[in-house]
Chains A and B, each alone.
Chain A
Amino acid sequence: ETGVTQSPTHLIKTRGQQVTLRCSSQSGHNTVSWYQQALGQGPQFIFQYYREEENGRGNFPPRFSGLQFPNYSSELNVNALELDDSALYLCASSLGYEQYFGPGTRLTVT
């Protein structure tokens, strides 16, 4: 157990809808990163938040957005869902270079 929690565990949405995924970071960790893991692939970096500011972004379109709150928890929002957005979404919290992952949210877009 890493102390990083994510909700919900599973989610089914329809193409075109919007979704919000949530992450609570490990106590004391001020940085949260989000990753997308498609089936059979390694996690791909979406973006990172450090002290409530976006601190870097991977190769994902603007319809992927996020927030970090004063308690360092975070949200990932995806608008206009596409079938290819079906994946496991991982949140990782960190204080330094080591990132600790939550269990993920499995998103299925139909």
Chain B
Amino acid sequence: AQSVSQHNHHVILSEAASLELGCNYSYGGTVNLFWYVQYPGQHLQLLLKYFSGDPLVKGIKGFEAEFIKSKFSFNLRKPSVQWSDTAEYFCAVNNPFWAGGTSYGKLTFGQGTILTVHP
């Protein structure tokens, strides 16, 4: 069974600091990769996704992530964080060929990383 591991449970930064959140997954086949964000009191929102092609993907709000197939990693980065980035971040993996041809597959989530940004 595939699994997703996020390296840090809680990251605390000051505004303008750079951010990198680690994500590793266990499945060796074709995967789709996602980062979701959950702002306080809000629902899960898609931050960015990787399906194929350029392994460096850009998402909303200045976030980007790099897919490194050899390391089974999909780390999230942002050059300069803002107080409004305070949220919980989830890495998720989807195996697009799981459970038959009509299924778009389940998402397997990491345990989440809480990011606190101090002004």
Contact partner of A45 (CB less than 8 A), chosen from B36, B51, B102, B107, is B107
Is the beta-carbon distance between A56 and B107 smaller than 8 angstroms?
no
Known: A31-B104, A97-B51, A97-B94. A102 touches B43 (CB 8 A): yes
Given the complex of chains A and B, what is the CA–CA distance between A102 and B46 in angstroms?
12
Q: How far is the CA of A48 from the CA of B102 in the complex (A)?
A: 11
The CA of A19 and the CA of B66, in the complex, are separated in Å by 41
Residues of B in contact (CB 8 Å), total 29
Find residues 5-40 in chain B having any chain A CB closer than 8 Å to their own CB.
32, 34, 36
Taking a contact as CB atoms under 8 Å apart, the answer to whether B102 and A90 are in contact is no
Instruction: Choose the segment among A20-28, A36-44, A66-74, A77-85 that binds chain B (4+ C-beta atoms closer than 8 Å).
Output: A36-44
Contact B99 A55 (CB under 8 A): yes
Chain A positions within 8 Å of B, measured between CB atoms, are 2, 31, 33, 35, 40-45, 48, 50-51, 55-56, 58, 90, 92, 94, 96-104
